Amino acid sequence: MSRFAAPIAEQIWDMKYRLKAGDGTPVDATVEDSWRRVARALASVEAEPSVWEERFYAALEDFRFLPAGRILAGAGTGRHVTLFNCFVMGTIPDSMAGIFEMLKEAALTMQQGGGIGYDFSTIRPRGAVVHGVAADASGPLSFMDVWDAMCRTIMSAGSRRGAMMATMRCDHPDIEDFIAAKQDAKRLRMFNLSVLVSDDFMTAVKAGAPWDLRFGGKVYRTLPARELWDRIMRSTYDYAEPGVIFIDRINRMNNLNYVETIAATNPCGEQPLPPYGACLLGSVNLARLVRDPFAPGAALDTEALDDLVRVAVRMMDNVVDASRFPLEQQAAEAQAKRRIGLGVTGLADALAMTGLRYGSEAAVEQTEAWLHEIARAACLASVDLAQEKGAFPLFEAEGYLASGTMMQMDEDVRAAIARHGIRNALVTSIAPTGTISLYAGNVSSGIEPIFALAYNRKVLQKDGSRTEEEVSDYAVRLWREIMGDAPLPDSFVTAQTLEPMDHVRMQAAAQKWVDSSISKTINCPADIPFEAFRDVYMAAWDMGCKGCTTYRPNAVTGSVLSVEPAAPAPASTPEHDMTRPFDRPSSLEGATYKLKWPGSEHALYITVNDIFEDGRRRPFEVFINSKNMEHFAWTVALTRMISAVFRRGGDVSFVVEELKAVFDPRGGAWIEGKYIPSILAAIGGVIERHLIAIGFIAGEGMGLKSDPKAEPEPVSPQPAPVTAVSAPPPGDLCPSCGSSAVHRVEGCLTCADCGFSKCG
């Protein structure tokens, strides 16, 4: 029998983690072969490799311990790839030569499959004097554009493009530009952005005090701290970025604050790292460790948890020695501190299986208790390794035990560290686990709530047709196996029904016993008032979180995948019947735009009328008028063709891109500071602005790049009943399969149709 609990799990394994030859022929015949490959590779650095290979295999078996994807895909393959997920790069010098040396290092790291983080606060602000060249500085944002372009051209190992995190201090003179940077839909698409928020700034916000923006000892501007805070909040409310990192708290709590200062994180924020620091991630699957699930005495098997954590720590410590690194500085940093980030997945499932509702007071207490058990076991396992193999080279008992995190650790653990040292400077982190959670049978991701009890996923068959399969949450599927058709208990709750403060309380409970940080998205309803949204961030600060990331669906950011009750099969296909155009109502709403093309005596007037379909406004017809009779024939032809496409239904935003791509061999024109290659391209731009205004597309440049119906898909003659899934606006379309069945969690996009996942 297959070890996979669901077809999607096997497909994820085959697509992402199964070892294949260069021609695509599988080398790993089964998932057991993959487990054996990883276990053997990580045991190879042991004095008794055969003994530890078996223990490592047992930990991997049945998806109990889930190393991060780079380990699953890369260990034991013999390929020149890093097993570390992400890196924070070196401090960027404030010089042209230094900046481009850092760019080269970033490219080399991404080439081997590592995501990167950078602090751009070290670059002088825009307009500052550059001595010796009689010029003004272009500022950090201009260099971030260079990094963004580099990232788009570098294909990571495997099938992912790289992800990047950019941070900037809240007192940098260019912070306001940084906050607003991604409001331009075409800019910095490869970056996540986070503001480094200091304790002093939060004090000033609460006190209503002024705040200085400074660089190099010079104050460039002073503004009210609350005004800057509200700018951050408003941008996040509208555009889902930037995130907030409480950087002083991170440095204060850091076990290594006696030897390093942190100013950046990896792309998803769960690993605050020093220059050239790397994150090594893995997760214990709590959903597999519950005894007697759903019974009155259901509980986590703490003995099994302790044993699994201890083996996992040893496996991850071995990765430090087994991995390659893109740069020598990264290898030296990893060896000197031997950081690991052991976390969990399946938390929400485990809570439901023990009768606890995610976000409730009891669930918060249980989460803190479980994470405490994991932190204890991980530290003690690392102490045992220190006795056997030596403490990490930079260990100093006095400085280490004086850190904020270790000050709250149990006294017996502190005593053991004082006596024997510890092998790994940091041991715990909560990583994004979207893809490996699917691979493990669709357990709930990380410490996130269950996203959906079930949803339907389109599956491409070998003959080109598509079928639909139900993907159920692991705990839901287990309930059905044990309890049959009995209704789900109240302990099953999904992200759609939770209050934002439930998320915050769960994050804070976990953070207490995590010595790195946590990748968590606080989902907020679209209609949450701005003031309540702002309170979420203040609550995260007050409760001791190290950062905060929210997601509020709207017309700009797109909506997360939502799942609704099952509906009967429609009499025809769900999309508009393309053999019959939409009927035109007697009246339509629309807008008229004036377009003045340079050199033309008369302006064009472009009218776009809209129709409402399933509660959504979409374009229906276009009219183009002008007094210039020279334009008459082609404008009439154009309006008829565009209107015909609009009336067919579906996602017609590709029309915009087709028009914008037309160039005039006689030359284009400059309009409002932008070069437009032709008058047709200008018309495309007008239509695009209209589609953005009505919420049909999320932003400039974010429509479909080609006609999705140019090649018709075969239609199953007898479609099965499906669960209705509401599609988001085209802001979040899967870059792999083009599906709109995309949801965002832990800072990552995950496609429910093909399993594609991208962080950042």
Dihedral pair phi/psi, residue 735, rounded to 5°: -70, -10
Q: What is the pLDDT of residue 576?
A: 44
Is the bond leading into 242 cis (omega within 30 degrees of zero)? yes
Core vs surface per residue 542-554: b (16+ CB within 10 A) or e:
ebebbbbbbbbbb
Nearest to 671 by CA among 598, 564, 566: 598
* CA distances from residue 298 to 181, 290, 346, 353, 447 in whole angstroms, order as listed: 49, 7, 15, 7, 19
Query: Which residues are CB-contacts of 20 (< 8 A; sequence separation ≥ 6)?
Result: 26, 27, 28
Calculate the dihedral angle through the C-alpha atoms of 597, 602, 603, 608, rounding to the nearest 10 degrees.
-120
- Please report the sign of the dihedral spanned by the C-alpha atoms of residue 38, residue 39, residue 45, residue 50: negative
- Catalytic sites, residue numbers: 266, 268, 270
Q: What span, in angstroms and rounded, lies between the C-alpha atoms of 353 and 374? A: 19
pLDDT-wise least confident of 148-152, 179-183, 703-707: 703-707
Residue ranges per domain, the chain?
A: 86-265, 589-693
Band of residue 741 on the pLDDT scale cut at 50, 70, 90: low
Q: What is the pLDDT of residues 443-473, one digit of tens each?
A: 999 999 998 898 877 665 656 566 777 889 9
Section 639-664 average pLDDT: 83
Give pLDDT tens digits for 177-193. Answer: 999 999 888 889 889 99
Q: In what order do the strands lie in the sheet with 65-67?
A: 65-67, 281-285, 341-345
Mean pLDDT of 496-519: 95
Which range, 55-59, 619-623, 628-632, is most confident?
Answer: 55-59
pLDDT digits over 334-343, tens only? 999 999 999 9
Better pLDDT: 322 or 553: 322
Q: What does the alpha-carbon distance between residue 638 and residue 569 come to, in Å, rounded to a whole number? A: 38
Only one residue has tokens 């099952």, namely: 566
List alpha helices for 518-593, DSSP H: 530-542
What three-state secondary structure class fits 90? coil
Q: Which of 305-314, 459-468, 533-542 has the lowest mean pLDDT?
A: 459-468
Contact between 266 and 117 under an 8 Å Cβ cutoff? The reply is yes
Q: What is the predicted pLDDT for the residue at 562? A: 45
Look at the domain 589-693 and name its fold: Enolase-like; domain 1 (3.30.390)
Contact between residue 64 and residue 39 where contact means Cβ atoms under 8 Å apart: no
Please list, in sequence order, all residues whose beta carbon lies within 8 angstroms of the beta carbon of residue 364, skipping any fewer than 6 positions away.
505, 506, 509
Angle between helices 632-647 and 679-693 (to 10 degrees): 30
Which residues, including other chains, have CB under 8 Å from residue 95's CB and lie 6 or more apart?
A: none
C-alpha torsion sign, points 579, 585, 587, 590: negative
Average pLDDT of the segment spanning 290-319: 97
Q: Which of 510, 500, 559, 502 has its CA nearest to residue 534?
A: 500
Q: How far apart are CA 236 and CA 522, in angstroms?
A: 12
Strand, coil or helix: what is 618? strand
Helix (H, G, I), strand (E, B) or coil at 45: coil
Tokens of 87: 């890196």
Max avg pLDDT among 11-15, 357-361, 616-620, 748-752: 357-361
Q: Which of 327, 268, 3 is nearest to 117 (CA)?
A: 268
**Which two structure tokens, joined as six digits, stand for 521?**
């998205």
Burial of 656 (0-12, 13-18, 19+ CB in 10 A): buried
- pLDDT confidence of 712, banded at 50, 70, 90? very low
pLDDT, averaged across the chain: 86
Question: Does pLDDT of 503 surpass 60?
Answer: yes
Distances (CA, A) of 263 to 175, 177, 459: 15, 19, 43
CATH topology of domain 86-265: Anaerobic Ribonucleotide-triphosphate Reductase Large Chain (3.20.70)
- DSSP-derived pairing of the beta strands 86-88 and 278-279: antiparallel
- The three-state secondary structure class of 243 is strand
Q: Supply the pLDDT for residue 749.
A: 66
Q: pLDDT tens digits for 341-357?
A: 999 999 999 999 999 99
